[in-house]
């Protein structure tokens, strides 16, 4: 797979988001359906869980964190920065300013205590409509992982729940089993 070089749709909301994002580059913000969300609290516990997932996928794949992710079907009203994004190994070393969501194989989000509905509800539909084969939700509030698969429209047909400490099998093309023993509840 190769990245499509056509530009994403740029709406007035996206222009406004880009201005705010440029003014505050150290704060991780996202835009969902024109609504800007800023997660001003970064926790080391959350960061450790991001690394625990990402490190298991790095040997065979292009693994990115907090990469600007866009999709034409979001109509310029959504820009997401998944905690972990996985693309084919040919993307290693990529310097794309914005990464096309439909080129991703898996995205993972560690649920925020302050705003869990974004990761548990709103992003499910966004990632599914972009056709991302796997969406992993690491939920330290409940101590579980949810692996969404088989995207259809704005939903995933299958969801597998695993408690922290249980393995999370990810199908092809990734074809691995994620170890969740390093994950813990808040």
Nearest to 100 by CA among 120, 85, 121: 85
Indicate the helix (H) or strand (E) that contains 15. Answer: helix 12-23
The tens digit of pLDDT for each residue in 112-146 reads 887 888 899 999 999 999 999 999 999 999 999 99
Task: Give CA–CA dist 138/15, Å, rounded.
Answer: 31
Whole-model pTM: value is 0.81
- The least confident of 44-48, 150-154, 158-162 is 44-48
Domains, the chain, in order of start with CATH, read 43-68+83-178 (3.90.1570.10)
Residue 24's pLDDT is what? 55
Q: Is the pLDDT of residue 17 over 80?
A: no
């Amino acid at each position: 797979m190769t990245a499509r070089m056509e530009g994403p749709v740029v709406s007035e909301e996206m222009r406004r988001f880009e201005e705010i994002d440029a003014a505050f580059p150290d704060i991780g913000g996202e835009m969902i359906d024109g609504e800007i969300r800023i997660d001003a609290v970064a926790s080391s516990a959350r960061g450790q869980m991001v690394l625990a997932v990402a490190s298991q996928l790095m040997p065979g794949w292009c693994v990115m964190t907090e990469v600007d992710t866009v999709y034409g079907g979001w109509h310029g009203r959504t820009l997401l920065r998944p905690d972990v994004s996985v693309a084919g190994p040919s993307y290693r070393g990529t310097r794309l300013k914005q990464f096309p969501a439909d080129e991703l194989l898996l995205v993972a989000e560690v649920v925020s205590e302050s705003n869990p509905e974004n990761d548990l509800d709103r992003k499910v539909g966004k990632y599914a409509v972009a056709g991302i084969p796997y969406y992993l939700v690491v939920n330290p509030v409940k101590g579980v992982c949810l692996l969404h698969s088989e995207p259809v429209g704005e939903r995933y047909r299958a969801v597998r729940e695993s408690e922290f400490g249980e393995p999370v099998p990810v199908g092809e093309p990734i074809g691995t089993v994620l170890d969740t023993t390093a994950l813990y509840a808040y």
